[in-house]
Structure 1
Amino acid sequence: METITKKDLELLRAQIISDIGTLIDTKLKGESAKGNEEFGWMRSKAIRKALNISASTLQNLRITGKIRHKKVLGSYYYNKEDLQHLFDDESK
């Protein structure tokens, strides 16, 4: 059995702080959101922010079947293509 030294704990602390900084930077740059968008699905919050609509408006679109959605672990994901088609149809 190995003994944990103070130096080992300091190295672990530095690594944890570095990892947290990287996660924060990634979140602020929106790289995690871009990953979902590559698959064509976006979370409710991203959709509401991009379209400047309320949660109830998005819910109404979902309930009326105008856009496809998936519920994964309590979060709704919406298909980007459906949203694009929805606004294409309204502009005609």
Structure 2
Amino acid sequence: MPTSIITTDDLREFKMELLDKIKELLEKQSAGKIRKYLKSAEVMELLQVSPGTLQNLRINGTLPYTKVGGIIYYDSEEIHKVLTTNRARNDF
């Protein structure tokens, strides 16, 4: 298995790319380009969870949802609220 050497320049470039992506997401959010309601597939991708985990989050009431004609929608603000209230704090 070949190995790669990561230099400080590589890390600096990665940091700049990451900061650019975060800035882009924040600009989209402040401009209202992030949709208010998301479908299940979008939420699974966003949270990196399986369909079963998403279903469990619905069933146990962790993640509020709305069902319209067989399609389940999630409020993006509610998702953010759930993530914020369940944030683990590591106080050393």
Q: Smaller-chain TM-score range?
A: 0.5 to 0.7
Do the aligned residues in 2 keep the contact of 1:66 with 1:82 (CA within 8 Å)?
no
2:41 pairs with 42, 45, 49, which one?
Answer: 45
Q: Which has the higher helix share?
A: 1
Equivalent residue for 1:77?
73
Residue 35 to residue 71, structure 1, CA distance change in 2 (3 Å): farther
Once the two structures are superposed, the pairs formed by residues 1-92 of structure 1 within 5 Å of their partners are 37=35, 40-91=36-87, 92=89
Q: What is the percentage of aligned positions where both structures have the same residue?
A: 30
Which stretches of structure 1, 4 residues or more, deviate above 2 A after TM superposition? none
TM-score (norm 2): 0.54
Secondary structure at the aligned position of 2:86 is classed as helix
Unmatched segments (≥5 aa) in structure 2: 1-31
Distance (whole Å) between structure 2 residues aligned to residue 72 and residue 45 of structure 1: 15
| Cα-Cα RMSD | 2.1
- C-alpha distance after superposition, 1:16-50 (max 9, x if no partner): xxxxxxxxxxxxxxxxxx9881xx21000010011
The structure having more radius of gyration, on CA atoms, is 1
